[in-house]
Structure 1
């Protein structure tokens, strides 16, 4: 926006971002860390936590067949900025450039620079360059829509989160009660998709670990998940 030579490009991006339509996005979250104290504390009822370890191969196959994405979250601000800069550079490469080169522009007097900016803006917004400009901006917005669900604040980096991302799903939308509003969600029948989906189950800090391990093992076997291993958390944490 501060570069007068390319300011119509910057203005076009700002306008496209203000007007862009956001996808209807649903995510299912997983973690690389199978036995992490902060996860037991943050996401499980005291003394009743269970960690389900899924097969990555099965998840990837399920996502391919259902047109979903399985990707790792990006926590680093530097990496987030780098990813966004890649999208901007790609958009700039697709966007129609001014007829005058940068070298020619630098030689212009003030009046000619103003005329250049006005002509360039007219060219990309209403003139012959509009079709290419709109296509480049549309591709940028589509790419941002796909990237946005992967960006998380660095304060959550310990979770090492991966997400299954479903954009604009056509399946049935369900609702559950949240603390302040209804929360829409979709179901992913991964367990029906493959009996190899579950590789292991970790029983979290629990006052009756052996009984819990036994009952979880029975549940898995009775539902056909015979290859899943059940074990106890190694963290000596008490919340009861």
Structure 2
């Protein structure tokens, strides 16, 4: 019975991969998407021909997911406290979304910027200016099924509107499921639904961060079983999945080398490495904007 309702829910939101909650948000994806990272990460990406997508509960800035969760709680109180049906359903979903257990069926993401000259990104994500900005071609992320590029939405208005619409849409469906499923199966269904709200939190950031012009590569088939990998970072074991490039030499357009540290040596080493790995046509440039950290 649970499987039947789970399939019905996925059919109800068959366009979840198209992120209907982003209606009203500019979805124009730039030709080049910039990924700020360390030189060691660049080496790993080229050698393994993969890009790591992190679990949304283990992002570097955990406050991002918590921000979306807080807005969800605010909507629950503001919009649904007067309706026992909606309020009870929304509280049940929030309980599953913020449970202590870490769901495996969930969005995994990698972050990109529309600009290669964002000083905050150099500071925060590229080893304090000692790393690189890798320019990936937009087309590189359209060749693997089950993945997509989504823009981040800044501010709460679109987000709140979408949440209200979805809750109203699924209320009757969940009411029917609750009457026909036992408690365990109904909770499993709520977990499925909570994953969609996790995905929505993934695309929301505070409007003070709009300067980031961020886009996110994510697995759009959230409910498909994934092959998890794990890494340890700062005493925390973090789950992730891998995006496999069909042709890494065709995926990377150019690379900017950070301005901090021995830039010329870093540039020469990267050029030599790329030549050896068959990426001779990839442009490598030095980021010349003067700044201090």
TM-score of the two chains, using structure 1 as the length reference: 0.68
**Residue aligning to 2:19:** none
Question: Contact 2:130 / 2:260 at 8 angstroms: preserved in 1?
Answer: yes
Displacement of 1:213 in angstroms is: 2.7
Stretches of structure 2 that go unaligned for 5 or more consecutive residues are: 1-79, 181-185
**Residue aligning to 1:187:** 242
Question: Contact 1:91 / 1:139 at 8 angstroms: preserved in 2?
Answer: no
Alpha-carbon distance in 2 for matches of 1:85, 1:56: 32
Stretches of structure 1 that go unaligned for 5 or more consecutive residues are: 97-120, 128-132
**Residue aligning to 2:160:** 81
Displacement of 1:19 in angstroms is: 4.1
Displacement of 1:164 in angstroms is: 1.8
Please state if 1:68 is matched with 2:133. no
Question: Contact 1:72 / 1:150 at 8 angstroms: preserved in 2?
Answer: yes
Larger Rg: 1
Greater fraction of residues in strand = 2
State the Cα deviation string for residues 71-90 of structure 1 (Å, max 9, x = none).
11222122222232332343
1:222 to 271, 276, 279: 276
Q: After superposition, where does 1:10-159 map in structure 2 within 5 Å?
A: 10-19=87-96, 22=103, 23-46=105-128, 48-62=130-144, 65=145, 67-91=146-170, 95=172, 125-126=178-179, 141=194, 143-159=196-212
TM-score of the two chains, using structure 2 as the length reference: 0.57
Question: Contact 1:73 / 1:151 at 8 angstroms: preserved in 2?
Answer: yes
Structure 1 residues 157 and 180: alpha-carbon distance in aligned structure 2, compared to 1, 3 A threshold: farther
State the Cα deviation string for residues 43-100 of structure 1 (Å, max 9, x = none).
23345221100001111223xx2x12321122212222223233234335xx27xxxx
2:214 to 153, 161, 164: 161
Question: Contact 2:110 / 2:216 at 8 angstroms: preserved in 1?
Answer: yes
Structure of higher RCO (CA pairs closer than 8 Å, 6+ residues apart): 1
Q: How many pairs does the alignment contain?
A: 203
State the Cα deviation string for residues 202-240 of structure 1 (Å, max 9, x = none).
11113443443333223223222233211121320245x
**Residue aligning to 1:199:** 253
